[in-house]
Amino acid sequence: MKKKGFKTRSIHEGELKDSVYKGAISPIYLGTVYDYLGDEQMKYPRYFNTPNQLSLSKKIASLENCENGLLFSSGIAAIFSTMFSFIKSGDHVVFQSSLYGGTINMIFNEFKKFKIDYTLVESLDPIEYQKAIKQNTKMIYVETPSNPLLEIIDLKQIADIAKKNKLISMVDNTFASPVNQTPSDLGIDLIVHSATKYLGGHSDILAGVVVSNEKRIKKIIDSSINYGGNISELSTWLLERSIKTLQIRVKTQNKNAHKIAKFLEKSSYVKNVNYPGLKSHPSHELAKKQMKGFGGMLSFVLKDEQHVNLFPKFLKIIKPVGSLGGIESTITCPAETSHAKVSREKRIKYGISDGLLRFSVGIEDYQDLEDDLNQAFRKIWK
Ligand SMILES: *Cc1c(COP(=O)(O)O)cnc(C)c1O
């Protein structure tokens, strides 16, 4: 059967039929207890097998061109339940150094306790990842575009290096969303998302997801049942509803962000702009090759870095909040929020300067966003 289009699958793939009332949408089953007779395994939310979880996993997996998926209570739960299904004490993991702050935090604070060894690669050059591989390496983990610097790493080359060395490759695809990037098509084994961001899209749920092939998903279930980072049925249902509009939201965000990036690049109030869609971005050509759109995220450094906390106070539409990926435009200072727990010395080393602002561009009318930025710039530098 011919594979349906992305938007059709966003709406219809995996949907549950309401056989009682024939409603047009998936009914929500809030049950935590189910009949155990006759089924191979009793349904129970922590077993990842309730009707709403199963149906939504299928939908997201389909959008990522993968066989199956698993939902979690948060992005971090998805990332580390997945990782700890494949690595154990004594193993070594190769990480990109510019990762989401919460991910970095977990590595710095928890890995030693479990005697898991790791190398943080500061370069984006795949050769450096090859060089970091040791005898006991099990996995290569990357994030692209990265948070908050929007760095791009070559997923095809990372997947090839992992295959050649019999390692598992894993990518955090949160910033791109499956609208802009499908890493499984490039050979990546495990794809994770903070569904709190673009997949959820309305700044009202916390959720995470991993997608892969059936065999790996089965392995992740077996371990994750013990970790217990499961999603609630209510969040599952809200996430299903959100994904129906994923493509139209993200395409609008792509368009707005590209225009904002060009506007900021020309602004005399701004030192520099990080956006993969700009020709000035060091990996613009690679982004063009591996992404279908450049995304709704960008970051920029204010000309006078000391105004980093004052500037957001003058914005009237763009909200200073510590998350991203919603339909509303939000701005945040990574040094104060996502990377607050990372020491200043490490932050600066990784390029996250005090004056950096991360901008999650929403679906508002473009001109209103530009006007909002302009009036705030003028208030500071009057
Ligand atoms: C937010 C985020 C996470 C963590 O997700 P939570 O849902 O907050 O647990 C992981 N990776 C990236 C890129 C993120 O932006």
DSSP 259-293: HHHHHHHH-TTEEEEE-TTSTTSTTHHHHHHH-SS
Catalytic residues: 46, 100, 172, 197
Cα separation of 288 and 280, whole Å? 13
Q: Is the CB of 206 under 6 A from ligand 1?
A: yes
Q: Single out the residue of 42, 39, 35, 140 nearest to residue 86, CA to CA.
A: 140
Q: Could you report the per-residue pLDDT of 104-125, keeping only the tens digit for each?
A: 989 999 999 999 999 999 999 9
Q: What is the pLDDT of residue 49?
A: 95
Q: Could you report the per-residue pLDDT of 313-334, keeping only the tens digit for each?
A: 999 999 999 889 999 999 999 8
Contacts of 22 (CB under 8 A, 6+ apart): none
Q: Which residue has tokens 């371990």?
A: 223
pLDDT in tens, the chain (382 residues): 789 999 999 999 999 999 999 999 999 999 899 998 988 889 999 999 999 999 999 999 999 999 999 999 999 999 999 999 999 999 999 999 988 988 998 999 999 999 999 999 999 999 999 999 999 999 999 999 998 999 999 999 999 999 999 999 999 999 999 999 999 999 999 999 999 999 999 999 999 999 999 999 999 999 999 999 999 999 999 999 999 999 999 999 999 999 999 999 999 999 999 999 999 999 999 999 999 999 999 999 999 888 899 999 999 999 999 889 999 999 999 888 877 777 888 888 878 888 999 999 999 999 999 999 999 999 988 7
Strands (E), the chain: 68-72, 92-96, 117-121, 137-143, 168-172, 190-194, 208-212, 270-274, 297-302, 319-320, 330-332, 356-360
Cα separation of 164 and 9, whole Å? 33
DSSP 50: S
User: Cα–Cα distances in Å, from 23 out to 13, 15, 222?
Assistant: 16, 12, 34
Q: How big is the chain, counted in residues?
A: 382
Nearest CA to ligand 1 atom 4: 75
The two most distant CA atoms of the chain are separated, in Å, by 73
Q: Which residues pair with 168 in a beta bridge?
A: 139
Q: Is the CB of 276 under 6 A from ligand 1?
A: no
Contact predicate 48/70, CB 8 Å: yes
Cα 135 to ligand 1 centroid, rounded to whole Å = 30
Token couple for 81 = 């339940």
Domains of the chain plus CATH, in order, are: 6-243 (3.40.640.10), 246-380 (3.90.1150.10)
Cα 266 to ligand 1 centroid, rounded to whole Å = 31
pTM: 0.96
